[in-house]
Amino acid sequence: MIGNNALLFVSALACTGAFALSDNTTSQVPKKTGSGYVLTDIVGKRADAHPNPRIYQYPQFLPDVVDTLLGDNILGNILLKERSDPAPVPVSNKFSYYEIDIEVGTPGQQLSLILDTGSSDLWGVSTSDIRCSNNGQGSLDCSQNTFNQEKSSTWQVNSSAPNFGIQYVDGSGAKGVWGNDVVSFGDVSLDSCSFGLATDSNSSTGIMGIAFPGQESTPYPYPNVPQLLKDQGYIETVAYSLWLNDVQASTGNILFGAVDHGKYDGPLYTIPIINTGSGSEPWDMAVTFSNITVCLGGVFSTIEFTEGTVILDSGTTFSYLPSNMVQPILKGLNAQYNSDISGYTVPCDVDDGGFIEFNLDGAIVVVLIQEFLLHLKTASGDIAYQNGKPLCQVGLVEQDDANSIHILGDTFLRSAYVVYDLQNYEISMANSALNSSFSDIEVIGSGGVRAL
């Protein structure tokens, strides 16, 4: 069922601990590719440090990047991109991210890249990266998940483009060249796809950015992956649906050009993407955030969001919200601050059936408290209290800096089915049908989800 900006009210009885989201396991194997859509799996990963720091400020073009990118100081007048995740800590399984497998070149070379709705460039690490351990100058393992352009008969350097380069405020970054090659995934092949090839990087994994071209890290916009899928006839509308599945699941999927009605429950709300930049069109996945209703210990409380918009970002592990929203939740869970991980922890069995209802401009998504809890591990196993109970980190972070950007990351998105329509500047969302194997795919036409 598709709805439009209607409110879904959760009964007060739901706050007794009996509330649960559906787990649809009806068996029907979806197609990989059909007329007007492309479907491909994404794989959830956990690690002690995110393999690639996140980008969520305005894209930057770094002139003369070959000589200065990874030097001592290039701040000058450049607004550097920020990390959305804290610095790495000596704990395993702390960060979650989602990878998509693609092939680049002829013959195809497989790369696993971070799927990111918060950036727009496609880039990977070169086998000739000077920081590869096999080159004797670094510690990056380049034996796999890297691209050797010399082995691709279709690789072409884009000599008219500026050098590829990006840097993060913590000093990590990548530099190299722009090129074009064949990129394949989900049974489709894109010709002449722009690809940034990092030859000097201290990030171990590249990115497939699928946001608006306005976030590309070059002053010369180009058609990125979602736009090329339309330009080359695979989809009718520059749109895609993201289904991450629950916190315990290892795989989800991304569906370009269509909606899968088998992957969500209840109404599919459609709301506008908000223009937060200075241009005439939206440049990031910002939507109006109205409030949250928290149910903990059988008690409801509603907290208004007064900051305007929030970013929906699959490349961010946690959710970053004002302290007036986060603190009541942490207090209700009796969470304790842990300086070792720069975050709050609770026993993993703290969940009492509580949930958080998010109201995004009238679109309602309910997230169980359990979906915000990330198990912490060391190399030898679970981190536990003295009584043996496993320790979990709460995937909510206070963000109160005056210039901060508020983000709903993977801890929220796993419970939501989200359709990103870059052509009509709309977001559609519903509660995810967790672990669903049922598929009912409908192509998105030029009128967007509202026209379905």
Q: What is the pLDDT of residues 86-102, one digit of tens each?
A: 222 233 334 567 899 99
Spatial distance between the Cα atoms of 324 and 82, rounded to a whole number of angstroms? 23
Query: Is the model's pLDDT at 112 over the cut of 90?
Result: yes
Beta-carbon-side half-sphere exposure of residue 248 (alpha carbons within 13 Å): 4
DSSP, collapsed to helix, strand or coil, labels residue 319 as: strand
pLDDT in the model for residue 358: 98
Fold of 46-231: Cathepsin D, subunit A; domain 1 (2.40.70)
Of 71 and 77, the structure prediction assigns the larger pLDDT to 71
Q: What is the mean pLDDT of residues 40-49?
A: 73
Of 41 and 85, the structure prediction assigns the larger pLDDT to 41
Q: Which of 37-51, 90-104, 316-330, 412-426 bottoms out in mean pLDDT, i.e. has the lowest? A: 90-104
pLDDT in the model for residue 231: 97
* pLDDT interval class at 32 (50, 70, 90): low
Q: Which of 67-76, 92-101, 143-152, 276-285 bottoms out in mean pLDDT, i.e. has the lowest? A: 67-76
On the question of a cis peptide bond just before residue 30, with omega within 30 degrees of 0, the verdict is no
- 421, amino acid identity: D
- Cβ-based neighbours of 49, under 8 Å, separated by 6 or more: 88, 89, 94, 95
C-beta of residue 215 within 8 angstroms of C-beta of residue 207:
no
Told to judge if 401 belongs to the known catalytic residues of this protein, a careful annotator would answer no
Q: What is the mean pLDDT of residues 310-325?
A: 91
Of 209 and 26, the structure prediction assigns the larger pLDDT to 209
Q: What is the mean pLDDT of residues 421-435?
A: 97
Query: Is the model's pLDDT at 168 over the cut of 80?
Result: no
Query: Is the model's pLDDT at 46 over the cut of 50?
Result: yes
Query: Is the model's pLDDT at 407 over the cut of 80?
Result: yes
pLDDT in the model for residue 317: 85
* pLDDT interval class at 138 (50, 70, 90): low
CA angle (2, 8, 9) in 5-degree steps: 160
Q: What is the mean pLDDT of residues 96-113?
A: 92
pLDDT in the model for residue 402: 73
Query: Is the model's pLDDT at 22 over the cut of 80?
Result: no
Q: What is the mean pLDDT of residues 213-234?
A: 92
Strands 309-312 and 407-408, bridge-based pairing: parallel
Which residue matches tokens 């690789």?
Answer: 155
**Which part of the chain has CATH 2.40.70.10?**
12-30+237-451, 46-231
Strands 373-375 and 363-368, bridge-based pairing: unpaired
C-beta of residue 52 within 8 angstroms of C-beta of residue 204:
yes
pLDDT in the model for residue 214: 86
Q: What is the mean pLDDT of residues 199-210?
A: 87
Q: What is the mean pLDDT of residues 403-421?
A: 93
Q: What is the mean pLDDT of residues 155-166?
A: 91
- Annotated catalytic residue within 129, 200, 284, 313: 313
DSSP bridge pairs for 384:
390
Buried b (16+ CB within 10 A) or exposed e, 402-432: eeebbbbbbbbbbbbbbbbbbbbebbbbbbb
What φ, ψ does residue 438 adopt, rounded to 5°? -80, 145
Of 278 and 76, the structure prediction assigns the larger pLDDT to 278
**Distance, first Cα to last Cα, the chain:** 10
* pLDDT interval class at 60 (50, 70, 90): very low
Q: Considering the domain 12-30+237-451, what is its CATH architecture? A: Beta Barrel (2.40)
Mean pLDDT computed over every residue of the chain: 81
* pLDDT interval class at 262 (50, 70, 90): very high
pLDDT in the model for residue 342: 84
Told to judge if 116 belongs to the known catalytic residues of this protein, a careful annotator would answer yes
Q: What is the chain's Cα-based Rg? A: 21
- Annotated catalytic residue within 116, 260, 284, 421: 116
Query: Is the model's pLDDT at 69 over the cut of 90?
Result: no
Closest CA to 443 of 105, 8, 34: 34
pLDDT in the model for residue 387: 74
Query: Is the model's pLDDT at 378 over the cut of 90?
Result: no
